[in-house]
Amino acid sequence: MTRRTIRTIILLATISIAGLVLTQLFWMDKAFELREREFDDNVTAALREVGLQIKDINKDSSEVAPVRKLSRNYFVVATSDTLHPYLLESLLENEFRTRNILTDFEYNIYDCFTDSLVFDGFVALSGQEYERPTEVEIPRSDSDSHYFGVYFPDKQNYLSGQMGLWLLSSGILLMVFAFFAYTLAVIVKQKRLSEIKSDFINNMTHEFKTPISTISASSDLLMSGAVEADAAKRQRYYRMIHDESDRLRLQVEKVLQMAQFDRSEIDLNLVDADLHQLIRKATASVQILLDERKGSIGLELNATDPISSVDELHFSNIIRNLLDNAIKYCKHEPRIVISTGNIRQGIAIRVSDNGIGIPTKLQREIFGKFYRVPTGNVHNVKGFGLGLFYVKSLVKAHGGTIVVESGDNGSTFVVWLPTSRK
Ligand code: ADP
């Protein structure tokens, strides 16, 4: 699958998910509206029935006044006389129960002679403990006759509670999204892994091919006896074989070390060492490489306390890797500066170069295993993308940190290690 296909799939999937969510929300809203209308009709019919019963009791033969909805939760019915609250309560409760309107309600009775709402009672029909919501705004009817009103404080929740099927389907939809997102994440991860794998194989082939062909050409030449007479030439070919097999060994070691890191087996042979001395040694070991590129290294070893508890071999490899990179990723003559200083009860080692730099957004990635800054598949600089992973793992194992600062004019890697406290 190409990157473009994955991107298209993600885009289409996001659009369809957004479409599904919107449709679900739309239908849920419609369903709620429908339920509310049903509830209102039911309440209106119940209140009308209560109005009729009151008229019957009062032997009043006039028409029942229409039920009026004054707000979303409040309904009023005009009556021709004042009412006894308990009578009203029992009529209302009875009627609501018969019609299965099982949500809490408050009722009040308006007395037009005194112009006041004379009784405020409530009934917990839901069977749950009732708590009167504070700051309830119950509108006043503009009617100038007696009336009673019924207020449903919990109407919205009651209706939502009846939308169980919708909530279930939304839950299922959410689960489908979660699975879908997970699947996409796995696809993207697999894709990255397969890219890394093929990059690694490409790089490895490349890294191993060159020394192997040099060794094989040199040994062919030596075996053919063509340089039998020339001792200096012979010596050169022996050295070539030696150097190239050394390089191969280093590469193989790097790969093997990764397997060890994966199993978290970093064995450190810690000794109190003078880091300045180790830095000088590591610098000397890249001198030949530097000479080939007409480069130079400046040392500004200013730390007053350069003693740290490190594994000497691993520490030298950390510096060696940083120096190798500083030389490799430089288009002109490498100018490298290594400086040290004591900060935060430790020693900071800064390796600065005048190389090609690392784009800001990739600076976090470069420490990842097999990660190489994409160079458009041009293998002008060889590597496995393991060097900085190795460096970071080891710095961490030593209880230290590593950060990179990089711009167009070069990069600086800052390694901080704790100094030995006596
Ligand atoms: P490798 O050098 O084998 O590719 P590393 O893990 O050492 O792997 O480095 C990862 C990537 O970080 C490199 O591919 C390179 O793009 C970038 N990089 C590392 N060091 C430098 C540097 N000093 N200057 C510019 N880029 C660097």
Q: Does domain 271-418 have CATH number 3.30.1380.20?
A: no
* Cα-to-centroid distance, 373 and ligand 1 (Å): 7
Q: What's the gap in Å between 385 CA and the centre of ligand 1?
A: 7
Best mutation site among 204, 325, 390 for ligand 1, i.e. most ligand atoms within 8 A of its Cβ? 325
Residue 399 alpha carbon to ligand 1 centre in Å: 23
Closest-CA residue, ligand 1 atom 19, reads 325
Among protein residues, the one whose CA lies closest to atom 2 of ligand 1: 383
For ligand 1, what atom is nearest to the CA of residue 371?
A: 10
Separation of CA 170 and ligand 1 centre (Å): 48
Among protein residues, the one with the nearest Cα to ligand 1's atom 12 is 366
- Could you give the CA distance from residue 310 to residue 396 in angstroms, rounded to a whole number? 12
The enclosing H or E element of 337 equals strand 335-343
Per domain, the residue ranges of the chain are: 3-161, 191-263, 271-418
Distance CA 358, CA 362 (A): 7
Residues with CB under 6 A from ligand 1: 325-326, 329, 353, 355-358, 366, 371-373, 383-389, 411
Say whether pTM exceeds 0.85.
no
What pLDDT does 353 receive? 95
Give residue 384's pLDDT: 76
Which positions ≥6 away from 190 have C-beta within 8 Å?
Answer: none
Ligand 1: atom nearest CA of 410 is 24
Q: What residue's CA is closest to ligand 1, atom 23?
A: 326
Tens place of pLDDT for every residue, the chain, 422 residues?
677 888 888 888 889 888 988 998 899 899 999 999 999 999 999 999 999 998 888 887 777 788 989 888 899 998 887 788 888 999 999 999 999 998 889 888 888 777 777 767 778 777 776 666 555 666 776 667 888 899 998 888 888 888 888 888 888 888 988 998 898 889 888 888 887 788 778 777 877 887 898 899 989 989 998 888 888 988 988 988 988 887 788 778 777 777 777 666 677 889 999 999 999 998 987 887 788 889 999 999 999 999 999 999 889 889 988 998 999 898 889 999 999 999 989 999 999 999 999 999 889 889 988 788 876 444 466 677 888 988 998 899 999 999 999 988 899 999 999 986 55
- Non-local (6+) Cβ contacts of 293 within 8 A are 327, 330, 333, 334
| Ligand 1 atom nearest to 321, measured from its CA | 7
The single residue listed with the structure tokens 């599904």 is 20
Q: How many CB atoms within 10 Å of residue 391?
A: 22
The minimum-distance atom of ligand 1 relative to the CA of 353 is 23
Q: What is the pLDDT of residue 407?
A: 86
Name the CATH code of domain 191-263 (choices 3.90.550.10, 3.30.160.100, 1.10.287.130, 3.40.50.720).
Answer: 1.10.287.130
Give the closest residue (by CA) to ligand 1 atom 3: 383
Q: How far apart are CA 256 and CA 258, in angstroms?
A: 5
pLDDT of residue 195: 79
CB 309 within 8 A of CB 270: yes
User: Among 261, 293, 365, 388, which is best to mutate for testing ligand 1, by the most ligand atoms less than 8 A from CB?
Assistant: 388
- Specify the pLDDT at position 253: 75
Q: Which of 329, 337, 380 has the most ligand 1 atoms within 8 A of CB, as the residue to mutate?
A: 329
Look at residue 414 in the predicted model and tell me its pLDDT.
97
The closest residue, in CA terms, to atom 20 on ligand 1 is 325
366 Cα–ligand 1 center, Å: 7
Q: Is 406 exposed, middle or buried (0-12, 13-18, 19+ CB in 10 A)?
A: buried
Res 146: pLDDT: 85
